[in-house]
Structure 1
């Protein structure tokens, strides 16, 4: 018999400990992976999503349980680019790995099994509480919506309902409880607003995500002289913060003390249209992360047989002393 979790001091974090990793209440039958006919495939592995990395990172770290896990179990801020770029491989794989997507999802879930403890205010947390794990998933879903709607061609309400249904299939691959998942796109919007207004907090970890003033040079710009990067870093940090704030839910902007004007909104819409027009000039495969690119090639028949999954290059691996820790994706490359 399973014991109930201790009551917590904020909404959305209760539930039975035994419901965390398994025994999900979900429709019968194995979860069905997403495929190239899905809108999620079209937008999730798109490199434009990197522009929203601070947005999703800040929202995730505004959840008090996620922030506590990052504070006690993560070195994200010490190896920011490496952690971000390597994490994209298994996260994208849950969407793009086809028949192996459920296996990838179990691996991703497993990285979070040991992330638990008690936060600075005495509140217990566990990364695999369904409500907590679902919040991170919800930010990835909404990132997909924003790429298509604000940086892409725009999405109809029917498109958003379709993406919602696909995100439920995506969630089922993790084998988690269905309890926190809203029933419809309309219910999800109410859930999203409630999380922004009642659950998310102004945490140090979220503020650290948004502080890009000392961000290291991205690997793609490794040939750029350090002095040039230092000169560019300040304007880049301000522009990224502006974009991030503009895409936040209004309640989050208020909680963090940011102001967003009608003029800002008009400028953001113009920027989104410009990004969409420019992106159409990029060759199709170059628009996608390597794991997603390999999936599109597989579905087009350019890959034969059961190919090895594309894994992160060695430059993105965790520090040598930490590569065997259970919370790290660290393939043998």
Structure 2
């Protein structure tokens, strides 16, 4: 009989760092890193609604993705749901290469970016990590990945092996493709849904500055090989300013109440673990404003609560 993989819990470092709203600062990094993978980028280009509902697609995805970490004894079920959203995502890319979202190497690459995004958020915006912290987060990301029920073949065995894998992917596998450039293009970024109160004319005035700042933050998180691939430069002055920004973010978030720093799915996980909520309390789901258009809500590739 198969031994079910054990979900992560409040004693893990992943619970401490994943699900914090500071992770939004690496969202553009994560999206572009994922899309540079040839198979994943082709799937996004040909199947995703991301480019027609950028905010909604991102914000609703955070719920089940976060649930794989924070849903406790329901985390494996959440993970299988996330996996199954990808069954129909396959095809042939512009270069004639077949792809499938559930190809083990492709699926693991997306998870590797979740792990590295957690590490980068903690390193740059949450006070930093020790080498032992990184090893522990690596081990936890393996346990986290096992919940999906995918082949473990692509998963590196050690933190050192992962670093070799990551450098190989950045230098030899990732591509500068259409899906990546579309993610990085924020020139027409719509107003965030939660900023409904902001006049559209004001958002349009703010948008160029927001786009430049987010692009600069993202370039600062890239490996040197990725900056070269995408044609970006990065100076010592940029690096110093990026470190200062990270310290400011860390101090500013430290002034907020702990629960206010967390995504709702993460906050609910902590509340169940600490007894603030009963263990069987309903899981938080994305608000209706983030759902796909009505005509597409029966598409099994979309996360739609209660479907």
Alignment TM-score > 0.5, same fold: yes
Q: Once the two structures are superposed, what CA deviation does each residue of 1:130-188 show, in whole Å capped at 9, x if it has no partner?
A: 10000000000001101111111110000000000000000000011111001111111
CA distance in 1, matches of 2:77, 2:287: 21
Measure how far apart 1:66 and its partner are: 0.5
1:274 aligned onto 2:248:
yes
Contact kept in structure 1, 2:193 and 2:289, CA below 8 Å: no
Moved over 6 A (4+): none
Structure 1: how far apart are the matches of 2:33 and 2:51? 16
The Cα shift of 1:277 comes to 0.5
The corresponding residue for 1:317 is: 291
Distance in 2, Cα, partners of 1:46 & 1:314: 22
Deviations 1:13-53 (A, max 9, x none): xxxxxxxxxxxxxxx62100000111101111001111111
The structure 1 residue matched to 2:194, chosen from 220, 235, 249, is: 220
Question: How far apart are the structure 1 equivalents of 2:132 and 2:84?
Answer: 34
- Corresponding position of 1:96: 70
**What do residues 192-232 of structure 1 show as CA deviations (whole Å, max 9, x unaligned)?**
10000000000111011111111000122110111111111
Alignment correspondent of 1:14: none
Match of 1:110? Answer: 84
Equivalent residue for 1:123? 97
1:176 to 147, 150, 153: 150
- CA distance in 2: counterparts of 1:69 and 1:36, whole angstroms: 34
1:245 aligns with 2:219: yes
Q: Does 1:133 align with 2:107?
A: yes
Correspondences of 1:1-333 after superposition (within 5 Å): 29-332=3-306
Structure 2 unaligned spans of 5+:
none
Q: Once the 2 structures are TM-superposed, how far is the Cα of residue 305 of structure 1 from its aligned partner?
A: 4.5
CA–CA distance in structure 1, aligned partners of residues 201 and 287 of structure 2: 27
The Cα of 1:75 is off from its aligned counterpart by 1.3
Contact preservation (8 Å) 2:90, 2:101: yes
User: What SS does the aligned partner of 1:76 have?
Assistant: coil
SS of structure 2 residue aligned to 1:77:
coil
| Cα distance in 2 between the residues matched to 1:225 and 1:332 | 33
Q: Is the 8 A contact 2:70 2:265 kept in 1?
A: yes
Q: Give the Å deviation of 1:85.
A: 0.3
- Residues 55-107 of structure 1 show CA distances to partners (whole Å, capped at 9, x for unaligned) of 00000000010111011111111000000000000000000000000000000
Which residue of the partner structure matches residue 18 of structure 1?
Answer: none
Q: Aligned pair count?
A: 306
2:51 is paired with a residue whose SS is: helix
- Answer with 183-192 or 157-166: which moved more: 183-192
Say what the alpha-carbon RMSD is for the aligned residues: 0.9
Distance in 2 (alpha carbons) for counterparts of 1:56 and 1:82: 16
SS at match of 2:247: helix
Q: Deviations over 1:230-278 (max 9, x none)?
A: 1110001000000001101110100100000111001101110111011
Unaligned runs of 5+ in 1: 1-27
Tell me, yes or no, if the aligned pair for 2:45 and 2:178 is still in contact at 8 Å.
no
Q: TM-score, normalised by structure 1?
A: 0.91
